[in-house]
Structure 1
Amino acid sequence: MMKDISRKQSAALPCAACYILRRRCAQDCMFAPYFPVDEPHKFTGVYKVFGASNVNKMLNELPEHQRGEAVSSIVYEANIRVRDPVYGCKGAISSLQQQIDVLQTQLALAEAEVVHMRIRL
């Protein structure tokens, strides 16, 4: 009974996807579980990069238990693609790899300095 009441109340508010697309949010809306009305920014980037139809197709091809993780990945990819349209995730990964390389070098230098100080004592 409580589930029916909460669905009726939320039926008045469309999900973020339907709100942005300016359409009526159906009770079985594919986007509603993943793009709540209070987080429209999640769908905005996804819509700009992939389009609603493509995201709908991607989600329909997946078993329901995998859709939440897929949406997280799609949102992440879209946000990075909006920030860096040329390199996207590849650019982010390269940047992180460079940071790892610099930090590993700094760590090796610090370890060598510790060894050198122990020898001097």
Structure 2
Amino acid sequence: MMVSGLQELPEQQRSDAVSSMVYEANARVRDPVYGCVGAISSLQQQIDSLQTQLARAQAEVVHMRMRHLASTSDHPAGTGSTENKLMASQSKSFYYMDTVDQANKTESLWSY
């Protein structure tokens, strides 16, 4: 947007437009080739990595709960409910592991 384009904007939007242009100019100085897109791509990769780490941590929690339920299933009373809980935990574990697999296989939209 050129300076004359700023005059065409409503006054309440001009400050935001200038701030955006300054941010984009600074991003272009830091990364002359990709500019803001490079910053967005980097942040998207961080999000993807953190989502994968979260899915792995959730799967580990489910696995630990499953081991705990298996170790407490020695009690004859309520064995059926423990088995149901164990099966539900296993189902969640498979879901989380599938999520991790998908996160590792899927490329980010911002990848080059």
Q: TM-score band, normalised by the shorter chain?
A: 0.5 to 0.7
- Match for residue 119 of structure 1 among 31, 49, 66: 66
Where does the alignment leave 5 or more consecutive residues of structure 2 unmatched? Answer: 69-112
Q: Matched residues in 1 for 2:49 and 2:28: separation?
A: 25
Q: Which deviations, in whole Å up to 9, do the C-alpha atoms of 1:73-121 show, x marking residues without a partner?
A: 1111111011011101111111111001000000000000000000111
TM-score, scaled relative to structure 1: 0.53
Q: How does 1:9-88 map to 2 (within 5 A)?
A: 54=2, 56-88=3-35
Structure 1: stretches of 5+ with no match in the other structure = 1-49
Q: How many residues align?
A: 68
Secondary structure of the residue that 1:119 maps to in structure 2?
helix
Kindly report the root-mean-square deviation, in angstroms, between the aligned alpha carbons of the 2 structures. Answer: 1.4
Deviant stretches of 4+, over 6 Å: none
Counterpart of 1:113 in structure 2: which amino acid?
E
Aligned residue type for 2:45: Q
Larger relative contact order (C-alpha < 8 A, sep ≥ 6)?
Answer: 2
Aligned counterparts of 1:72 and 1:112: Cα–Cα separation in 2 = 42
Residue 108 (structure 1) aligns with: 55
Separation (CA, whole Å) in 2 of partners of 1:74 and 1:61: 16
> Which protein shows a greater Rg?
2
What whole-Å deviation, never above 9, does each CA across 1:4-60 have from its counterpart, x for those lacking one? xxxxxxxxxxxxxxxxxxxxxxxxxxxxxxxxxxxxxxxxxxxxxx8xxx3x22311
Structure with more of its chain in helix, by fraction? 2
Match for residue 92 of structure 1 among 39, 55, 74: 39
Specify the code of the residue in structure 1 equivalent to 2:59: A
Q: Using the aligned pairs only, state the percent identity.
A: 75
SS at match of 2:36: helix
Q: Give the 3-state SS of the residue equivalent to 2:32 in structure 1.
A: coil
